[in-house]
Amino acid sequence: MMSHNEVLPGIIRVRGRAGPAGEAESAYVVLGEESVAIIDSGNPRSRDFHYKILRAVEDTPDYSLKDVKYLLITHEHWDHIGGLSFLKKQLKNAQLLVHEKAQETVENPRAMMQTKHFEVGRRKRLSLSVYDDPFRKLEKVKVDGVLGDDDKIDLGNTKLFIIHTGGHCAGHIFYLSSAQRALFVGDEVIYYPGDYNHYFIDLTGSASAREKALEFTLKLRMEALCPTHDEAFLGREAYATVRNALEAHKRREETILDVLSFKEETTLEEIGAEADALLGVSWAEPLQTFLDHTTTLAHLIKLEKEGKVSKIEKEKTPPKWFLTP
């Protein structure tokens, strides 16, 4: 299988190895008349994949590496920013642009990932040392510019419109290409190939924002849905994928409420473990170590704002959740 393929004219997907959850490492190259953009960059230790991204540009007739003007990410997680340092050194004409809410993590990734996004304390660090710690080789990268919600990137015959979503994590964005009507959705729609229940929201993200993003996507006119960890979905299949993701999102909340209906006051860990078991969600390591029911917490926060659940907080004990009477 080739390491890259054309999704639509002017859009190339670059594929790497599968991760611990079966998720495919990948990036997209968007070719414009005047310049080229690369979206996402893979894991920090995947040098062979980083070279594949460069090769995908070089293998395209009439383009060279000097035409790459923009390095972009859908969001600030390790498997999307891991190649930025290498690519910036190789692509002298390229500017690194990220959403303003992702800048702090991109410029100080290991510290921010372990404290802000996942709260990886001493116990979790010891556990991660047994596995292939995804944070260990992340390098600090200087951002050249920040993107706001109404910005767009002009490549000549196509523009990339910025849509901030903020569900999967705070700095998550979509890019919509005007010429091809392709939507680059990162990890907001689907993470685990073929299983819509396997998605996650980190501590900076929002279940409410993810639900709004999925509902908004169904209203867009798109020809292709381009997730990072799965193949691109074309035409009607794109909309079916988003609908399936939205149904799974709502099903998780219904499951959480079902779990709470049989209990009086319950900790996050107990709710998360039971909900995962009912939904058949089981993450491979090292993901299991640091996710630690962050997705369940995001949904509980949403349900609390909606008045459906409440929590009791006592000093020196974990909060306990219950259905609002």
For the segment 35-47, what is each residue's pLDDT rounded down to a tens digit?
A: 999 999 999 989 9
Buried b or exposed e, range 251-269, using 16+ CB within 10 angstroms: ebbebbeebbeeeeebbbe
Take residue 268 and report the two structure tokens written for it: 């996050």
Domains held by the chain: number: 2
pLDDT at 139 over 70: yes
| Residue 59 sits in the same domain as residue 135 | yes
Rounded Cα–Cα distance for residues 168 and 176 (Å): 18
Q: Specify the range with the lowest mean pLDDT, choosing from 8-17, 240-249, 311-320.
A: 311-320
pLDDT at 273 over 70: yes
The per-residue pLDDT for range 122-133, each reduced to its tens digit, is 788 888 887 778
| Residue 267 sits in the same domain as residue 243 | no
| Residue 23 sits in the same domain as residue 83 | yes
Q: Specify the range with the lowest mean pLDDT, choosing from 220-224, 228-232, 234-238.
A: 228-232
Rounded Cα–Cα distance for residues 71 and 91 (Å): 9
The per-residue pLDDT for range 48-105, each reduced to its tens digit, is 999 999 999 999 999 999 999 999 999 999 999 999 999 999 999 999 999 999 999 9
| Residue 44 sits in the same domain as residue 115 | yes
Per-residue pLDDT averaged across 28-34, rounded?
96
Strand partners, 193: none
Report the chain's mean pLDDT, rounded to a whole number. Answer: 94
| Residue 294 sits in the same domain as residue 243 | no
pLDDT at 1 over 60: no
| Residue 28 sits in the same domain as residue 61 | yes
Strand partners, 159: 154
| Residue 240 sits in the same domain as residue 270 | no
Rounded Cα–Cα distance for residues 113 and 108 (Å): 8
Residue 105 lies in a domain: yes
For residue 53, what are the CA distances in angstroms to 48, 73, 97, 190?
9, 14, 18, 22
Instruction: Give the pLDDT of residue 193.
Output: 84
Instruction: Give the pLDDT of residue 2.
Output: 64
Residue 254 lies in a domain: no
pLDDT at 4 over 90: no
| Residue 117 sits in the same domain as residue 152 | yes
| Residue 179 sits in the same domain as residue 244 | yes
Residue 309 lies in a domain: yes
pLDDT > 90: percent of the chain: 82
What is the domain extent for residue 268?
A: 263-323
